[in-house]
Amino acid sequence: MRIRKLVLLTATAAMSFVLSYPAALAEESAQAADSEPVTSLEEIIVTALKREQALLQAPIAVSAFDGDFLEEIGAHQLADFLLGVPGATIIDTGTGDTQIYIRGMASTYGDGAVGYYLDEVPFAFLGLSMVPDVRTFDLDRIEVLRGPQGTLYGASSLAGTVRIITNDPVFNEFQGKADVFGSGSRGGGDNYGVKAAVNVPLVDDRLAMRLTATTETYDGWLHEPLSGEDMVNDREVETLRAKLRFAPTDNVDLVLGVSSYDNALGALNSGDDDGNARSALAPGVLVATDQEYLMASAILTIGTRWFDIVSSTSWFDFEQASVGAYDAIREAETIAQELRISTNDLGPWHVTAGVYYRDLSTDFIVDIQTLPPFTQDTNGESWAVFSEVTYSITDSLDATVGLRYFDDTRDRSDTATVGFDFTTFSPIVETVEFEDTYSTTNPRFNLGWQANDDWLVYANIGKGFRSGFPQPGISLYFANLLGLEIGDGAEPETAWSYEIGTKARLADGRLVIEGSVYLIDWDNLQTVIFVIPGQLGAATNAGEVKAQGIDLGITAAPVDGLELTLNAGYSDSKYGETVTDVAGIVVADGQQVQLFPEFTVSASASYRRSLGTRGLQGMAYLRIDHTTERTLNFGSVTTEGDKITQGSVRVGVESDHWGVYAFVDNLFDEDGKVSGGSIQPGFEDVATRLRPRTVGLNLRLHF
């Protein structure tokens, strides 16, 4: 509630400044020439390779989204736009947990396969593939790197990396903006939200601060038939971000940041085909969740003529509580430090080198009701050294060699109450402890040929890595009790990626085409088997996977004011062997990797036109995303997901300082299975569902 009050105060202040902006400014806008908006496909500057480059000159497969664009299309979270990345898909369960998959590489167990960064801060958990939600308001940009990024980003970037870059404070300029929306969902109630940001200069050229806050409330839409309760999966999300920027000299820049997040969900967004809320474990017993995290960071940049030094220090604290069909508390804490140096003026040479350290801990307490309560305490300590060296062979041909050495030590203590001793009238408690170290050396080789200012061709070979992890102690206990052999845990995963791509700007800059072809040798894929079907899982490896595919992105501006995009990805990723558990086949040789569709496509059209009076513009935006079926697995039970076609449309009127919009999300009222399935043979399918068609209004103010 404190965040909500702060949001409302910040929004009120921002709106007041906008509405009371000097009258002379309004008169100036009214006197401006009414002209058609001129479309230009402007490039975004990215730092995907730890240095600034134009998007079309970066010799890797990377997509970027400008923060202003995300606000213009009404995006609230990654799931609202990430399907616009070729070869990427996303699952958002509503709990604050987000699962991102790239190029057919989907993680069903263990650490995440996609690196995830907020500014320079890594978000990662031990043995958990989800990443926490970040609201897409007041961002500078989002970058999505496709394919293994094993040298500059390390172990969690087996399939790719997502970088969310927030707006830094700006010196010498007071800025503010507010965003208010209200909507209604079919079969549900009302949704509303307020977002606001203020930039305050404190000392000319030396000190500034920026405050960003959001609050959003969503009524549910699922019905619980046993209790008769409607809209059980309501949701509230509150965030706060504060940044202070200090530049004691022209060459030194320090940014201190604090971010908080709170997500409360009345019940999981899982239901049957009739719109009834369902739990995977027991009908009528739902799962409510509350997820919170707090993050603090200090990013110091020192620039000289010859080199730049960047130090990133971060602390991340996470907690998630679930109550209902099962009770669980998960707590995680991460401390990370990276120090790197990049050269600026060494002729044909460019060098990036650094060291990295991370300390993680995760505590997990679970009571599934059908099993004894158990706890898992996991600690991990990792460090790495890395470097990439680029040499300009000619003015148009660059060669890059990179290398990263990574060392990861993990220990875990699992405790469970497994029975009762009637001779001593006390519970029988079993504790199992593990420790292991995983290490790897990840190389990368890259050639980039800049044929001219508008055409780039590149080839890339790189290795990705994902640490192994020990078997849950309670799984070992029951496996031994049942006479099952499940091994000591999952071995590390590796992936070698081979890729050729091109980027071209054509037709006087009105057409941009990006494409790449890749082959990935993915070894020791980690997956889950069940010791007790549907209730108690264990870790194993599923052998080798061959993933091959094509990414394609096209952006065109055929006439002034109109912009069209088409992004598509094809991925053929098949298991190379059959894995079974006590209930049957978990994955079959030749089966498409679960959770990732074979084909994804996204198309959009954006149009702006002058309304001929007082500098006003009309705008319209339409987007359609489609994914083919994907396999949804719970152990040995294979459930086929649905083809999903989503649409969104947005129309409005805007000026330099405000905009009013009407929008429709989930245009086709899609309710197919996004994730989930049946946990045991004979059980009903329980799947994550999309929010039904939602219609609303949005007001944006900025100065």
DSSP string, 347-360: TTEEEEEEEEEEEE
Question: Rounded to 5 degrees, what are φ and ψ at 331?
Answer: -125, 140
Residue from 142, 141, 145 nearest 154 by CA: 145
CB-based burial, 468-481: b 16+ in 10 Å, e otherwise: bbbbbbbbbbbbee
User: CA angle 50-54-58, nearest 5°?
Assistant: 60
User: Which burial class, exposed, middle or buried, applies to 226 when counting CB atoms under 10 A from its CB (0-12, 13-18, 19+)?
Assistant: exposed
pLDDT for residue 685: 60
Residue from 384, 380, 344, 345 nearest 359 by CA: 380
Bridge partners of 520, per DSSP, are 497, 547
List per-block mean pLDDT (blocks of 10 residues) for the chain, which spans 703 residues.
44 40 38 44 87 93 94 91 90 77 82 89 79 91 94 87 96 97 93 98 97 96 79 92 97 97 84 62 66 95 95 94 76 94 93 96 78 82 96 97 95 80 77 87 97 96 91 81 84 94 94 96 87 77 90 96 96 83 71 86 96 90 94 64 92 95 96 67 65 96 92
pLDDT for residue 587: 75
pLDDT for residue 211: 98
Which residues lie below 8 Å from residue 203, measured CB to CB, with a gap of 6+?
Answer: none
SS3 370: coil
> Domain coordinates of the chain in residue numbers?
2-702
The alpha carbon dihedral of 520, 81, 702, 55 has a sign of positive
Residue range 2-702, CATH number: 2.40.170.20
SS3 473: helix
pLDDT for residue 13: 41
Question: Rounded to 5 degrees, what are φ and ψ at 702?
Answer: -160, 150
pLDDT for residue 283: 54
Residue from 355, 271, 260, 386 nearest 317 by CA: 260
SS3 341: strand
